Amino acid sequence: MATSLVEFLLQDGLLTGAGHSFRAAHGRSGVIPATQKREGDGATPSGFLRLVRVLYRADRIPPPACAVLLEPIGPLDGWCDDPADPAYNKPVRLPYAASHEELWRNDHVYDVIGVLDWNLDPVTPGRGSAIFFHVATADYAPTAGCVALALPDILAALRAGLSGIRVPG
Protein backbone atom coordinates (compact mmCIF):
# COMPACT_ATOMS: atom_id res chain seq x y z
CA MET A 1 0.00 0.00 0.00
CA ALA A 2 1.06 3.56 -0.64
CA THR A 3 2.00 5.53 2.46
CA SER A 4 0.17 8.77 1.68
CA LEU A 5 -3.22 9.66 0.22
CA VAL A 6 -3.32 11.98 -2.75
CA GLU A 7 -6.15 13.79 -4.51
CA PHE A 8 -5.85 13.93 -8.31
CA LEU A 9 -7.62 16.45 -10.56
CA LEU A 10 -9.42 15.58 -13.82
CA GLN A 11 -9.45 18.58 -16.14
CA ASP A 12 -9.01 19.25 -19.86
CA GLY A 13 -8.39 15.59 -20.70
CA LEU A 14 -5.66 15.20 -18.07
CA LEU A 15 -5.52 13.58 -14.66
CA THR A 16 -2.92 15.35 -12.52
CA GLY A 17 -1.61 14.82 -9.02
CA ALA A 18 1.46 13.83 -6.99
CA GLY A 19 3.72 15.41 -9.62
CA HIS A 20 2.18 13.34 -12.44
CA SER A 21 0.09 14.33 -15.45
CA PHE A 22 -1.66 11.61 -17.45
CA ARG A 23 -3.86 11.69 -20.54
CA ALA A 24 -7.36 10.67 -19.45
CA ALA A 25 -10.69 9.71 -21.00
CA HIS A 26 -14.02 10.42 -19.34
CA GLY A 27 -17.73 10.24 -20.12
CA ARG A 28 -18.87 10.55 -23.75
CA SER A 29 -21.40 13.20 -22.63
CA GLY A 30 -18.75 15.19 -20.78
CA VAL A 31 -18.87 16.26 -17.14
CA ILE A 32 -22.20 17.22 -15.57
CA PRO A 33 -23.19 18.50 -12.14
CA ALA A 34 -23.52 15.61 -9.71
CA THR A 35 -27.18 16.51 -9.08
CA GLN A 36 -27.97 15.85 -12.76
CA LYS A 37 -26.22 12.46 -13.09
CA ARG A 38 -28.57 9.70 -14.30
CA GLU A 39 -28.16 6.04 -15.26
CA GLY A 40 -27.10 5.63 -18.89
CA ASP A 41 -26.44 9.33 -19.60
CA GLY A 42 -22.77 8.71 -20.47
CA ALA A 43 -21.61 11.58 -18.26
CA THR A 44 -18.92 11.79 -15.59
CA PRO A 45 -20.31 13.37 -12.41
CA SER A 46 -18.58 16.45 -11.01
CA GLY A 47 -17.34 16.53 -7.43
CA PHE A 48 -14.89 14.48 -5.42
CA LEU A 49 -14.91 10.78 -6.32
CA ARG A 50 -13.18 8.92 -3.50
CA LEU A 51 -11.38 5.68 -4.38
CA VAL A 52 -12.86 2.97 -2.15
CA ARG A 53 -11.20 -0.18 -3.49
CA VAL A 54 -9.27 -1.58 -6.43
CA LEU A 55 -10.21 -4.73 -8.33
CA TYR A 56 -7.78 -6.39 -10.73
CA ARG A 57 -7.23 -9.36 -13.04
CA ALA A 58 -4.67 -11.48 -11.19
CA ASP A 59 -4.24 -13.67 -14.29
CA ARG A 60 -2.96 -10.62 -16.22
CA ILE A 61 -1.16 -8.32 -13.77
CA PRO A 62 0.43 -8.55 -10.33
CA PRO A 63 -1.42 -6.87 -7.45
CA PRO A 64 -1.12 -3.11 -7.99
CA ALA A 65 0.34 -0.97 -5.20
CA CYS A 66 -2.46 1.26 -3.91
CA ALA A 67 -3.80 3.12 -0.88
CA VAL A 68 -7.07 1.17 -0.56
CA LEU A 69 -8.41 -2.37 -0.26
CA LEU A 70 -7.27 -4.58 -3.15
CA GLU A 71 -9.28 -7.54 -4.48
CA PRO A 72 -8.74 -9.90 -7.43
CA ILE A 73 -11.72 -10.50 -9.72
CA GLY A 74 -12.80 -13.67 -11.46
CA PRO A 75 -14.98 -14.80 -14.37
CA LEU A 76 -18.15 -14.75 -12.27
CA ASP A 77 -17.82 -11.14 -11.08
CA GLY A 78 -20.27 -8.53 -12.32
CA TRP A 79 -21.76 -5.17 -11.33
CA CYS A 80 -25.52 -4.54 -11.39
CA ASP A 81 -26.65 -1.51 -13.44
CA ASP A 82 -30.41 -2.10 -13.32
CA PRO A 83 -32.06 0.66 -11.25
CA ALA A 84 -35.07 -1.60 -10.56
CA ASP A 85 -32.93 -4.36 -9.02
CA PRO A 86 -32.15 -4.52 -5.27
CA ALA A 87 -28.43 -5.03 -6.11
CA TYR A 88 -28.28 -1.82 -8.18
CA ASN A 89 -24.76 -0.33 -8.21
CA LYS A 90 -23.34 -3.27 -6.30
CA PRO A 91 -21.15 -6.23 -7.19
CA VAL A 92 -23.00 -9.40 -8.21
CA ARG A 93 -22.09 -13.00 -9.04
CA LEU A 94 -22.77 -14.18 -12.57
CA PRO A 95 -24.93 -15.38 -14.08
CA TYR A 96 -27.24 -12.61 -12.87
CA ALA A 97 -30.77 -12.07 -14.20
CA ALA A 98 -30.90 -8.26 -14.04
CA SER A 99 -28.88 -5.94 -16.29
CA HIS A 100 -25.22 -5.91 -15.29
CA GLU A 101 -21.66 -5.37 -16.46
CA GLU A 102 -19.26 -8.28 -16.67
CA LEU A 103 -16.05 -7.31 -14.86
CA TRP A 104 -14.01 -10.16 -16.41
CA ARG A 105 -13.56 -8.75 -19.93
CA ASN A 106 -11.45 -9.77 -22.92
CA ASP A 107 -10.59 -6.20 -23.94
CA HIS A 108 -8.33 -5.37 -20.94
CA VAL A 109 -10.39 -2.28 -19.98
CA TYR A 110 -11.21 -3.84 -16.62
CA ASP A 111 -7.78 -5.34 -15.91
CA VAL A 112 -7.67 -2.70 -13.15
CA ILE A 113 -10.86 -1.19 -11.75
CA GLY A 114 -10.83 1.54 -9.15
CA VAL A 115 -14.28 1.60 -7.55
CA LEU A 116 -15.16 5.27 -7.03
CA ASP A 117 -17.57 6.41 -4.34
CA TRP A 118 -20.40 7.38 -6.65
CA ASN A 119 -23.90 6.51 -5.50
CA LEU A 120 -22.65 3.79 -3.16
CA ASP A 121 -23.90 4.78 0.31
CA PRO A 122 -26.75 5.24 0.13
CA VAL A 123 -27.55 3.88 -3.32
CA THR A 124 -30.22 5.90 -5.13
CA PRO A 125 -31.81 3.97 -8.01
CA GLY A 126 -31.26 5.69 -11.35
CA ARG A 127 -28.54 8.08 -10.13
CA GLY A 128 -25.78 6.21 -12.00
CA SER A 129 -23.83 3.03 -11.46
CA ALA A 130 -20.40 1.54 -12.08
CA ILE A 131 -18.52 4.85 -12.08
CA PHE A 132 -15.03 3.40 -12.15
CA PHE A 133 -11.38 4.41 -12.61
CA HIS A 134 -10.21 1.90 -15.22
CA VAL A 135 -7.92 1.20 -18.17
CA ALA A 136 -8.51 3.33 -21.26
CA THR A 137 -8.92 1.91 -24.74
CA ALA A 138 -5.90 2.38 -27.02
CA ASP A 139 -7.57 5.40 -28.69
CA TYR A 140 -8.79 6.91 -25.38
CA ALA A 141 -12.40 6.58 -26.53
CA PRO A 142 -14.88 8.30 -24.22
CA THR A 143 -16.31 6.14 -21.45
CA ALA A 144 -19.86 5.60 -20.20
CA GLY A 145 -19.06 7.97 -17.31
CA CYS A 146 -15.86 6.54 -15.87
CA VAL A 147 -12.35 7.99 -15.76
CA ALA A 148 -9.82 5.96 -17.77
CA LEU A 149 -6.02 5.99 -18.20
CA ALA A 150 -3.49 3.83 -20.02
CA LEU A 151 -2.50 0.81 -17.91
CA PRO A 152 1.00 2.09 -17.00
CA ASP A 153 -0.53 5.43 -15.98
CA ILE A 154 -3.30 3.96 -13.83
CA LEU A 155 -0.70 1.82 -12.06
CA ALA A 156 1.54 4.87 -11.52
CA ALA A 157 -1.36 6.94 -10.15
CA LEU A 158 -2.32 4.15 -7.74
CA ARG A 159 1.31 3.70 -6.69
CA ALA A 160 1.52 7.48 -6.05
CA GLY A 161 -1.29 7.12 -3.49
CA LEU A 162 -4.35 8.23 -5.48
CA SER A 163 -7.17 8.41 -2.93
CA GLY A 164 -9.73 10.22 -5.05
CA ILE A 165 -10.39 12.23 -8.17
CA ARG A 166 -11.65 15.82 -8.11
CA VAL A 167 -13.85 16.53 -11.14
CA PRO A 168 -14.68 20.24 -11.50
CA GLY A 169 -18.24 20.97 -12.61
In which band, very low, low, confident or very high, does the pLDDT at 5 lie, cut at 50, 70 and 90? Answer: confident
pTM (global) more than 0.85? yes
Report the SS3 class of residue 34. helix
Determine the length of the chain: 169
| DSSP H helices in the chain | 151-159
Residue pLDDT, tens place only, 32-70 = 999 999 999 999 999 999 999 999 999 999 999 999 999
The rounded distance, in Å, linking the Cα atoms of 104 and 132 is 14
